[in-house]
Structure formats: structure tokens, C-alpha cells
Structure 1
Amino acid sequence: MATKKKIITEKELLSMSEDEYMNEDQLAFFRARLEAMEAQLRHNAGQTTETLRQTQLAPDPLDRATIEEEHALELRTRDRERKLLKKVQAAIKRIDEGEYGWCAETGEPIGVARLLARPTATLSLEAQQRRELKQKMYND
């Protein structure tokens, strides 16, 4: 029986040198974080389904309107989370393929700090800023 390897802490992750970038410990850390995000997103989706199923119709029009607005908000939130779930699953796949942590545009490291803030990031901060600047220029 294989023993489960201890996942490093965020402090240990941040104290590692640049030449240890995306080593086995770092990849295990981010996999665990992404898998926890995935589990939470799936749980939230299940809760929404259950909540919508159990809702009673209210005879009062104002109560009914409030319930419908709450449902609409809940569904918008779940739609955003569904999109995030796809990004989380894609990030886990990048770990499996050995591409996680590297900018999809430049091939440079995305950086541990950026991945801590946004574990699904596919671009380095500089590449993301360039992309946003282009979008702003062409969308204005």
C-alpha cells in the first residue's frame, strides 16, 4: 500500500528557490488545492439543485418575485462556478501533462505567487497584461 505524501504548506512553497519551480512538491500542493476547489464547486452545484427542488411556491406575488430573484442570482452564481470548474479541471490536466505553471503564450514561469492567487492561471502576469491591453485597445 502506497503511503500518501505530505503536502507542503503555503509558507514552505513560498520559501522554495526559483530553481525548484514546479517540482514534485509544488505540483502536489497545487493539485491538492485545485482538487479541493473542484470538490467545493461540485458540492455547491449539488446544493443549488437541492435548494431549487425544495422551493415552495408562494401565493403572495411579492414573495414569489423575491424567490424568483434569489433563484436567478443563485443560477448566475452557479453558471460562473461551472465555468470556473472547467478551468480547474483544465489546470489539473495541465499538471498531468507537465504544463502547469508555465505561460501558454511565452513558455516562461507564471510564478508561484500568481498561481497562489489564481491557481487556474495560464498566462504570466506580463502576458495577461498585454492581452488585456490589446482587448482594451480593440474593444474601445
Structure 2
Amino acid sequence: MVKKLTEEDVLKWNGDDYMNEDHLAFFRQRLLDMKAELLANATATSQHLQEQEATPDPADRATLEEEYALELRTRDRERKLLLKIDSTIKKIDDGEYGYCDDTGEPIGLPRLLARPTASLTVEAQERRERLKKQYAD
């Protein structure tokens, strides 16, 4: 039977059964909650943009357009995060969640709590960023 874990339970874990059934259920629910929140934000943005009236004042119109642009950029980032959440849930289904894409090593529960969609260990992420910076210079 799957035990419903809290974040505190996950942080206190010190066993050999990394990414056990309870952990997977915890992270699946966390990802589903994130997805629901992002979808609610998208709906609110859509409604907000539809109910705005045009204003004759150019300064007000410019301010509104800038606010819309910012909101749309935010929603675009969230759309990309939704795709990442879906691919992360698929990793849970496939039994690949919690392990580094580069090295196959455990990513670690504290990192996954901070960023449930993480696909690299901290070391692998830093290595990628250093390489990217070298090629950018």
C-alpha cells in the first residue's frame, strides 16, 4: 500500500529504497498540483485579456499593452513548464524518474523537492552550464 508522504517525510528519508512507490506517488501528485495551478493561471489570463476595454489615452494603452506582453511571456514560460511536467510524469510512468539523464545517478530528494522537473544532478547541470558558457564565449 502506498503511504501518503509529506515533504517533511521525504526530506527525512534515509533508506536504501530511493524512488520507491511512496516517493513516486508523492512526486506525481506534486507535479499534478503544479500542472493544475499553471492551467488555472492560463485560464485566468485568458479571461483577464478578454474583459479589458480599449482606452483612448495613449499612455494608458501603452501601459496595458506592456502588461499584456509581460503576462503573455509569463504564460509562454508556463506553457513550456507544462510540457516539461508532462514529460516528467511520463518518466515516473516509465520508471526513469529521479535519475540523471547524463549519468544515471540519483538526482536526490532535496533537489527534486526544490525542482520536481529536474532531470540532471547538480553536478551534471553545472557541467552543462560550464560547457555552454565556454562555447558562448
TM-score tier (shorter):
over 0.9
SS in 1 for 2:16: helix
SS in 1 for 2:96: coil
Q: 1:106 and 1:116 mapped to 2: Cα distance? A: 20
Q: CA deviation at 1:20?
A: 1.9
The one-letter code of the counterpart of 1:19 is D
Residues 1:137 and 2:134 aligned together: yes
User: For 1:72, which of 59, 69, 73 is the aligned residue?
Assistant: 69
Q: CA deviation at 1:7?
A: 2.0
**CA 1:6–1:56 in 2, change beyond 3 Å: closer, same or farther?**
farther
Residues 1:39 and 2:29 aligned together: no
Report the equivalent of 1:111. Answer: 108
The one-letter code of the counterpart of 2:80 is K
Contact 2:102 2:124 in 1 (8 A): yes
Contact 2:100 2:120 in 1 (8 A): yes
Farther-moved stretch of structure 1 (118-127 vs 15-24): 15-24
SS in 2 for 1:120: coil
Q: 1:36 and 1:133 mapped to 2: Cα distance? A: 33
Shift >3 Å, 4+ stretches:
none
Q: For 1:5-84, what aligned pairs fall within 5 Å after superposition?
A: 6-84=3-81
Q: Quick one: percent identity of the two aligned structures?
A: 60
Report the equivalent of 1:87. Answer: 84
SS in 2 for 1:13: helix
Contact 2:101 2:119 in 1 (8 A): yes
SS in 2 for 1:11: helix
Q: 2:3 and 2:115 mapped to 1: Cα distance? A: 23
TM-score (norm 1): 0.94
Contact 2:91 2:97 in 1 (8 A): yes
SS in 2 for 1:20: coil
- Long gaps (5+) in structure 2: none
SS in 2 for 1:38: helix
TM-score (norm 2): 0.96
State the Cα deviation string for residues 15-61 of structure 1 (Å, max 9, x = none).
11241210011111101100000000111111111111111000111
Farther-moved stretch of structure 1 (13-22 vs 113-122): 13-22
